[in-house]
Amino acid sequence: MLDVDPVAPDPAVIRRAAAVLRSGGLVAFPTETVYGLGANALDAGAVRGIFAAKARPAYDPLIVHLADVARLPDVAGAIPPLACELAEAFWPGPLTLILPRGPRVPAEVTAGGDTVAVRVPAHPVALALIRAAGVPVAAPSANRFGHISPTRAAHVLADLDGCIDVILDGGATRVGVESTVLSLITSPPAILRPGGVSREALARILGDVCVVDRPVLSTEAAPSPGTLMQHYAPRAEVTLYRGPDEAILPAMREAVSHLLAQGTHVGLLLAEEDVAAFAGLAVVLEVAGRRAALEDVARQLFTSLRALDRAGVAVILARDFGAAGLGLAIRDRLTRAAGGRVINVTAPSR
């Protein structure tokens, strides 16, 4: 575990980590979204190491990280003009583009497919590391497969201690949810995973953009190979409450009373404004942020889920934060954490 300044990383530390990447090793590093588990994307053996460390199934392809859009021809087989326009608008940043695969990218990265996922992360440590390594860096989120993505180095250590060579600790990540995955293979383009760049922001360039309905359970058909699993799952059983604010809180309160009467240890994932509604109840509260401050909620989301698990609760009731802006990505992650256990509250209950 090497400490590194998130704004001005020490070149000596970066060189050390880059050397590990170049020699086929695994380096966990911060991006603006979540921590990634990196390997040289052009080294099939190193990439296999990522899958082994995470216990990730080989059919789930990886995102290739570049330091500069100018390196895109190294990994993409074709670059549509729209890709350049999106890169101009959103890179470095939390947008991943699905493009035709270039011939130098090993099949391990793309899970045998003829498309490749690419992004340029907006984090000084990630950019310095990729530059110093001098190779594109394949990196999934640095968590055990199916578990909650890491937004701090301590989360990486908790999941993968002993399985990786170096962790660069650059503090907590700024965005907190993963990148938006946008396919430019289909026409019109489609969001395969909502994330740090909102649908509304993409629509300013693409016009309206469709969001592919991602299956939550492995029994449903999958549009993107890695999306067919329950993901972001804490140990506790999660239920997500959706609906108008005036209806969600009474419904959650009622559920809490039932659970407490049964002696169940309950955790709540709430907005700051909700806390008063649960005053005096013997539950574990995690506040993600104010309802309107979705950037705070996204940043805090995975840390809160991990904290509830550490508190040992058996059940987590989480509130929805709407579908506008980052709300869509937050809803997606909570729906997955809940394994599809979603309660749509329609009318205020008394």
The torsion region of residue 87 among left (phi > 0), alpha (psi -120 to 50) and beta comes to alpha
CA 348 to chain centre: 33
Residue from 31, 173, 300, 303 in contact with ligand TXA (CB under 6 A): 31
Q: Which of 241, 242, 254 is nearest to 349 (CA)?
A: 254
Binding to Mg ion by CB under 5 A, coded x per residue (else -) over 128-157, reads -------------x----------------
Residue from 117, 135, 153, 156 in contact with ligand TXA (CB under 6 A): 117
Annotate each residue in 132-171 with x if it binds ligand TXA (CB under 6 A) or - if it does not, as one string.
-------xxx------------------------------
31 makes contact with Mg ion (CB under 5 A): no
Place of tokens 């953009």: 209
Site string for Mg ion, 53-92 (x = CB under 5 A): ----------------------------------------
β-pairing, 115-119 with 63-65? Answer: parallel
Residue of 303, 320, 54 lying closest to 172 (CA atoms): 303
Q: How many Å apart are CA 156 and CA 233, to the nearest integer?
A: 15
> Do 135 and 22 meet the contact criterion of CB atoms below 8 Å apart?
yes
Quote the tokens at residue 140.
């999934």
Of 233 and 252, nearer to Mg ion (C-beta) is 233
Residue 249's φ and ψ, nearest 5 degrees, are -65, -45
The one segment of 30-38, 39-47, 240-248, 316-324 that binds ligand TXA by CB under 6 A: 30-38
Q: Is 205 exposed, middle or buried (0-12, 13-18, 19+ CB in 10 A)?
A: middle
Pick the closer one to Mg ion by CB: 33 or 141: 141
Is residue 268 near ligand TXA by the rule CB under 6 A? no
**Does 227 sit near ligand TXA (CB under 6 A)?**
yes
Query: Where do we find the tokens 């809180």?
Result: 249
The interface region with ligand TXA, picked from 174-182, 245-253, 281-289, 307-315 by CB under 6 A, is 174-182
Q: Indicate the residue whose CB is closest to ligand TXA.
A: 226
Nearer to Mg ion by C-beta: 141 or 183? 141
Can you give the length of the chain in residues? 350
The distance of closest approach from Cβ of residue 59 to ligand TXA in the complex, given in angstroms and rounded to an integer, is 9
- Residues at the contact surface with Mg ion, assessed by CB under 5 A: 141
